[in-house]
Amino acid sequence: MVKDIKTNEFEAKVLGSDKPVLVDFWASWCGPCKMLSPAVDAVSEQLDGKAEFYKVNVDEEPSLAQQFGIMSIPTLILFKNGELKDQSIGVIPESDIKAFVEKEI
Amino acid sequence: MKDLIIAGSGPAGLSAAVYASNAMLDFVVIEKFPMSGGQMLNTYEINNYLGFELVDGFTLGQTFRAHAEKSGAQFVNDEITSIEKIDGGYRVICGKGECEAKTVIYALGANPRKLGAKGEKDFAGRGVSYCATCDGNFFRGRPTAVIGGGDVALEDALYLANICSEVYLIHRRDEFRGAKYLQDKVLKNEKIKILYSTQVEEIRGENKVESLLLDNGDELKVDGVFVAVGIEANTALAEGICELENGFVKAGESGETTAEGFFAAGDVRTKRLRQISTSVGDGANAVHSVEEFLNKQQ
């Protein structure tokens, strides 16, 4: 499952996790974001228990978008042990999302 | 073996799906993402699709999809990795499985073309964008540039003029190709500054886009640059099956390619005007050709 995350929970839930954490930065007005999110949902089911999945609405949480220098959405960022491991911009297929997360499992 | 595989779920693929349902063909639509619409998903406003005075691309895409689903079309979410000619038809090989059919409608559409300027790749997602409606909001109150002279470039400039402090519209020719009513709106918009007969040589910056170096030697300070220099058709999977021409699948209005039983529809084929309406027409024509082809086989 991909859960919404707010700025005040980000530190504890994302940066504080010892599992890989994928964060999907999106917005309601972004067509490609709506293409990507069902694929992220599917990967979150496949990797259930092995990785965490969150999404950030950049309209509601502009400070998180700014903190990570988001200038294009959708953007996926992979974290592990509080570190930013990798970043992917734009729509990518489900298999690529899975591989993107799996390399940190 | 199925009668038909429709590759792609933009306007051409979805229109083909409705017509294929009506023709009672045994068919499947294969799409890369569980979201239909193709390039129109990125379009902010559409005012020239009959029956919809003003609609955003996402909503129209969803409307098309719902119609195709209701008609009985089956969708498979998978990425096609190759297409092979086999005895009596084609085998479409995907990431998760494969499928065989007597005919294929190839409607994989197109993606935005890259500019090819120095720095473009380095700053992708750091100020270089191919989708104004996706990324425009990140440049609120800041100067941006749009590169191109077609419908998309003009639409992008108008969209960004609502958000940004100023928008430079940079076009390599001395006149625009886009629709006249868009040109008129652009010319009347005080926030849009037009630079005709100008090319961008380099996109510059430290960690993100800071300026553009133009071919006249000027350096233009911008925070964002939106590239709208046309499209690149997704022809890779048709290579080796049928003839291509100037980067498109060679096919006329009937959708017939140089390969038997292999039809092309939408932006991917050679044609003069690439619009949602012409793609929808292509989908209908292609299914008609499929029916004729299957009838001849019997």
Measuring CA to CA, how many Å separate B56 from each of A58, B34, B64, B188? 20, 19, 13, 23
Which of B34, B96, B75 lies closest to A37, judged by CA? B34
User: Which tokens in the block code for residue A68?
Assistant: 């990570």
- From 3.50.50.60, 3.40.50.300, 3.30.390.50, 3.40.50.720, which CATH number describes the B128-227 domain? 3.50.50.60
DSSP state of A48: B
Contact A35 B124 (CB under 8 A): no
The answer to whether the CB of B213 falls within 8 A of the CB of B225 is: no
Report yes or no for ipTM above 0.85. no
In which residue ranges of chain B is CATH 3.50.50.60 found? 2-111+231-297, 128-227
Spell out the per-residue pLDDT of chain B, length 298, in tens: 999 999 999 999 999 999 999 999 999 999 988 778 888 888 888 889 999 999 988 899 999 999 999 999 999 989 999 999 999 999 999 988 999 999 999 999 999 999 999 999 999 889 999 999 889 999 999 999 999 999 999 999 999 999 999 999 999 999 999 999 999 999 999 999 999 999 999 999 999 999 999 999 999 999 999 999 999 999 999 999 999 999 999 999 999 999 999 999 999 999 999 999 999 999 999 999 999 999 998 7
Residue of B nearest to A29 (CA): B134
Instruction: Using DSSP bridges, classify how beta strands A52-57 and A83-89 pair: parallel, antiparallel or unpaired.
Output: unpaired
Provide the CATH number for the domain formed by B2-111+231-297 in this structure.
3.50.50.60
* Full residue range of the structural domain in which residue A46 is found: 3-102
- Cα(B84)–Cα(B230) distance, integer angstroms: 30
DSSP run (H or E) holding B99: strand B98-106
Q: How many domains does chain A have?
A: 1
Q: How far is A82 from chain B (nearest CA, A)?
A: 22
Total CB pairs under 8 A between chain A and B: 76
**Residue A95 maps to which CATH number?**
3.40.30.10
Residues of A in contact with B137 (CB under 8 A): 27, 29, 58-59
State the best of B39, B130, B131, B156 to mutate against chain A, taking most chain A CBs within 10 Å: B131
Residue of A nearest to B224 (CA): A71
State the best of B43, B80, B137 to mutate against chain A, taking most chain A CBs within 10 Å: B137
- This prediction has a pTM of 0.87
Contact B224 A30 (CB under 8 A): no
Residues of A at the B interface, defined by Cβ within 8 angstroms: 27, 29-36, 38-39, 58-59, 65, 69-75, 87, 89-91, 93-95
| AA identity, residue B42 | N
Q: How far is B148 from chain A (nearest CA, A)?
A: 20
